[in-house]
Structure 1
Amino acid sequence: MTGKAPTLRYERSFLAEGHRFLAGCDEVGRGALAGPVTVGLVVVDLTTVKGLRGVRDSKLLSAPDREALVPKIQRWAASYGVGHATAAEIDATGLMAALRAAGNRAWSQVIREVRPDAVILDGNHNWLAPVSQGSLFGDAETSSEVSCDAPVHTRIKADLQCLSVAAASVLAKVERDRLMIDFAQDYPGYGWDVNKGYATSAHRAAIDGLGPCVEHRRTWRLGTAIAGPGVAAGDIGR
């Protein structure tokens, strides 16, 4: 395990604003060529929550360590949820809309137990909140889905600094990895049990040889010729 442990310092600052239940939110799968984008939400009760040893941003943990943390995080949280948006949804609506759909699917799970007063979202762009206006061609998302109605506070490197966000990243990563391992049984040859759908050279070469399958993001450039959109060095493994 590496990296300084995240704390609840930033989360506890929300007590001064009268907030009790605070959700940490993070995504995984943004930079993959195949499979869903997945969003985790972990809610803490600021009046009672204690620290949780061993939790880090999911990128800093081994797969066995992440797996071992899942039941601990689930017991520790006041509520939690993990939502997905498929490769087909990413192709149909775009990445940001797919992230919003996945996040709000996680939100719908969370509010069965408790409704957060606010959300801390990793990064600098609020993709979780509903769009204020539909696009010229209409909103591709279904209006029947529950949407996050709490204030969303973006924070760069929240997954490294905020314990609730790091915990959310672990839940999201473990669940998405399990999905990709299952998909690898149905679509052998792409190495998803190892690369989890990310843009490794072996994965791109396999796409060249086999062609894309239904779980690939067809609107992305997938083969070895040109790197796909949105795949930066920092995204590999997210």
Structure 2
Amino acid sequence: MASAAPTLEWERELAGQGWTLVAGCDEVGRGALAGPVSVGLVVIEAAKAQELPGVKDSKLLREPVREALVPAIREWAPASAVGHAAASEIDGLGLVAALRLAGTRALAQVAAELLPDFVILDGNQDWLSVPVQADLFSTGAATGAGAPMAVRTRIKADMTCLSVAAASVLAKVERDSMMVGLARDFPQFGWDANKGYATAAHRSAIALHGPTELHRRTWRLV
């Protein structure tokens, strides 16, 4: 049986509690052997936003459907962004800190337009809160130094909260596009198909050709 489509139910509950600008946040690329981790962020006016038909967790949508939804999501959300942390940053900082870095890059992009009051973070681990400090927001007059922001995790938010599902689509489409582009320079690894994930063919290619600078060299690659 098909899973129920995500809704704005929790976002509207948050609006009723006084949170005006709510952001959905989700990551992709966490388990890949190559390429970045990418964090999507979609900011909505929680009390005013309307449902957006067709949007689901990106893993439940075929690639052409995901790509076709991107313009609609960009138009639907007053602010949205995708931030990335490269394989070298994952190696140097660790995965959780790299997710934080990608998330703060996404936040810095949306802050030029709208800084959310509340962030819904998919999963059960809050990897985003630490960098929400004055050093991120003190450089721009539009954001204000030390702007308050609540971050709450929610398991399966990408399947139940429309803002998070929309963020997952943006992150997945942008990261996949990056990996397809990188595959032109490194065709032997099949990134256009596997998107950097740990398929048997990808591991075999690493064993045969050795890792590139785009591989996460601190990980068990073969």
Indicate the residue corresponding to 1:114 in structure 2.
114
After TM superposition, list the pairs within 5 Å mapping 1:130-141 onto structure 2: 130=130
What's 1:213 paired with?
212
Aligned equivalents of 1:145 and 1:119: distance in 2? 16
**Partner amino acid, structure 2, of 1:155:** R
Alignment partner, residue 23 of structure 2: 23
**Residue 198 in 1 paired to residue 197 in 2?**
yes
How much has 1:16 moved relative to structure 2?
A: 2.4
Q: 1:203–1:148: structure 2 CA closer, same or farther, 3 Å change rule?
A: farther
Q: How many residues align?
A: 213
* Residue matched to 1:231: none
Cα gap change, 1:149/1:37 in structure 2, threshold over 3 Å: closer, same or farther? farther
Give 1:6 shift.
0.2
1:45 is matched with which residue?
Answer: 45
Q: Is the 8 A contact 1:107 1:148 kept in 2?
A: no
CA distance in structure 2 between the partners assigned to 1:11 and 1:131 by the alignment? 23
Task: Verify the 8 A CA contact 1:104 1:148 in the aligned structure 2.
Answer: no
Runs of 4+ in 1 over 6 A off after TM superposition: none
- In structure 2, relative to structure 1, the CA distance for the partners of 1:205 and 1:216 (3 Å cut) is same
Output the amino acid matched with 1:17: Q
What CA distance in whole angstroms lies between the structure 2 residues aligned with 1:107 and 1:97?
15
Which residue in the other structure is 2:140 paired with? none
> What is aligned with 1:173?
172
SS where residue 189 of structure 1 aligns? Answer: helix
Would the aligned equivalents of 1:3 and 1:56 in 2 still touch at CA under 8 Å?
Answer: no
Which sections of structure 1, spanning at least 5 residues, go unmatched?
133-142, 224-238
Shift of 1:47: 2.3
Structure 1 residue identity aligned to 2:91? D
Shift of 1:70: 0.2
Output the amino acid matched with 1:118.
F
Q: TM-score if structure 1 supplies the norm length?
A: 0.86
Contact 2:104 / 2:131 at 8 angstroms: preserved in 1?
no
Deviations 1:128-153 (A, max 9, x none): 01169xxxxxxxxxx96559851101
> C-alpha separation between the residues in 2 aligned to 1:20 and 1:157?
23
CA distance in 2, matches of 1:207, 1:144: 39
Identity of matched residues, %: 59
1:164 is aligned to 163
| 1:186 aligned counterpart, secondary structure | coil
Once the two structures are superposed, residues 49-102 of structure 1 have per-residue CA deviations (whole angstroms, 9 ceiling, x without a partner) of: 100000000000000000000000000001101000000000000000000000
Contact 2:20 2:45 in 1 (8 A): yes
- Aligned-pair distance for 1:186? 1.1
**Contact map agreement 1:31 1:198 (CA 8 A) in 2:** yes
Q: Which residue of 2 aligns with 1:125?
A: 125
* Paired position in structure 1 for 2:142: none
User: What TM-score results when the alignment is normalised by the length of structure 2?
Assistant: 0.92
Cα distance, 1:194 vs structure 2:
0.1
Residue by residue over 1:197-231, the C-alpha shift from the partner in whole angstroms, topping out at 9 and shown as x without a partner, is: 000111001111111001000000101xxxxxxxx
Per the TM alignment, residue 3 of structure 1 is displaced from its structure 2 partner at its CA by 2.4
> Structure 2 vs 1, CA of residues 148 and 53 (structure 1 numbering), >3 Å: closer, same or farther?
farther
Counterpart-to-counterpart distance in 2, 1:96 and 1:166: 21
In 2, Cα distance between the equivalents of 1:33 and 1:145? Answer: 29
Alignment match, 1:36? 36
Q: Retained in 2: the 8 A contact 1:6–1:162?
A: yes
